[in-house]
Structures are given as C-alpha cells and as structure tokens.
Amino acid sequence: ADNIMDTCSNISCEGGAIAARGNSVLHVLDGSFFFRNRANGDGGAIISSDQSSIVINSLLEGNTAFGNGGGLASVGNSSVVLKNGTVLRHGYASKSGGCLYSGGSLTVIDGSSKFEGCTCDVDGGAVYAFSSLEFQTVGDASSSTFDSNAAGSHGGAILTWHPIQVNFGHQIIIHNNTAGLDGGGVYSHSAVSLEIKEEGCPAALCEKISLGNGRCDPACMTRGCNWDNGDCNYRFEDAAQDVVQECDRSKCSPIDQEYLVNA
C-alpha cells in the first residue's frame, strides 16, 4: 500500500515529517507521498544529518522549510539518493533550496526525476548543491526536468559549488526557471569552473537508435532522437526550443544517411 504523510507538521524542529540522524539508513520507496509538511528549520518534509543516508522514491509536494530545503535537506556528512521517478514539487524554503538542499557529502539522482514549481528566497530555486551532485542513468536513458522554479537571488533551477557529474544517457531539461539576480537556470559559484564534456558513443547504442541526422551524437542520445527539433526533422533550431518538442520516431532518418544541415 502507498504510504501517505499529509500535513505531518513539525514547526519547532527540522524535518517536517522525518528526521534521519546518527548512522541511520532510511529507505523511503515505492509510492510514498509527503504533502504540506513544515519545518521551522531545514527540511520541510525530510532532513538527513550526521552520518545518515536516505534512499527515496517518492512524491514531495507543497512542503515548507523556514530554513533550507523546502522538500528535503541533507546536512553534515549525510548522503541522499533520489531513485528513478522521484518528484519534488511546489516546495518553499525561506533560505536556499526550494526543492532540495544538498549540504551533506553526496547527492545522487539515480534515474529520471522532476523538480517543478519550487521557490526559495535566496539561492537555488530547485536545488542548492554545496555537496557533490551526480546524475546517473537507469537503463539506456534517463532525464531530469527542472521546470518553473524560482530563486530570489542566484540559480533559478540549480546553484552549485562543485562540478556536476552527468553520466552518459542522462538528459537534463531546464525550462522556464527564474532568478532575481544571476543564473536563471544554473548558477555555478565563482570558485568552480563549469565543464561540459563530450563522451564517446557506444557502438551498440548507435546501432539500435535512429538519429535525425543519421550520425552518432553522444549529447543527443537520451530520447532516441537528436536535437533537430526533438522530432527528428531537419530544422536544427536552438536546443532550448528543441528539447521541449515531442520525439516522433517515425520521422527519424536512417542510420548513415547524410545531408547538409539547414540546407
């Protein structure tokens, strides 16, 4: 049965619904819901601190922190794994990290996830990442969507202090996010360089996916199509428009077909 934690309000402490501390390991999986929880400090729904670790596959919606991490906060030497299918929506933090405040040792987004409509008054409308942030792929492809999040200062979707690791096959979609100052989508702190790395394309993956231009493009393998408008037509518009288009595999051109771009 699904686990529902609705209006489990803790307004005097941290972790509106759950607080994991010490050396604990908490698994919150398979259809759990955290609605309208509140915390006077960090972690509107959940906080992980000390040496603890949390593995979660849940919907966190409408949670509030009068500190950091409207939905979830990781502090101290803790770690968090968001499993495939996790959704954080409409969270609010009076400080940073409207959906997620990642201040522990490591945060892993393992598979597809959504961060939607979260807000904060300071930095990182969806995610504030002081710790390492890694996007892992489940199966051939995964995607993480950051949509309509807002920060009062920097990083409408993400503020990061460390390089973000994106594994092969994981697509990050950043759409309609805003910031009061800098980085409407992503703000990388001045002490950190932002590096985009092109990886090699596995031959097996190229052989079984028809790309719009018939070539192996590692940056565009996550939907079975490439960036040419997302629907495998030959327009090659800018990526911000392309990525929100529906992928129509029937329009994909055969492997090895060649043509002139924008011809």
Q: How far is CA 233 from the centre of its chain?
A: 28
Please check whether residue 244 is in contact with residue 175, taking contact to mean a CB–CB distance below 8 angstroms. Answer: yes
Beta strands 92-93 and 25-35 are: unpaired
pLDDT in tens, 8-43: 555 547 777 888 877 778 788 777 888 889 998 898
The pLDDT of residue 162: 82
Q: Which long-range contacts (CB under 8 A, 24 or more apart) does 225-230 make?
A: 225/249, 225/252
Q: Left (φ > 0), alpha (ψ -120 to 50) or beta: where does 175 sit? A: beta
- Answering whether pTM is above 0.85, one says no
Contacts of 250 (CB under 8 A, 6+ apart): none
What average pLDDT does this structure show over 106-133? 91
Q: How far apart are CA 56 and CA 62, in angstroms?
A: 17
pLDDT at 11: 56
CB 125 within 8 A of CB 156: yes
Q: What angle do CA 67, 73, 77 make, to 5 degrees?
A: 120
Helix, strand, or coil here: 46?
Answer: strand
Which helix (DSSP H) or strand (DSSP E) does residue 110 occupy? Answer: strand 106-110
Q: Which amino acid is at 81?
A: V
pLDDT surpasses 70 at 240: no
Tell me the chain's radius of gyration from C-alpha atoms: 19
Q: What is the pLDDT of residues 162-201, one digit of tens each?
A: 878 887 778 888 888 999 998 899 998 755 544 444 444 4
Tokens 């990388």 locate to 188
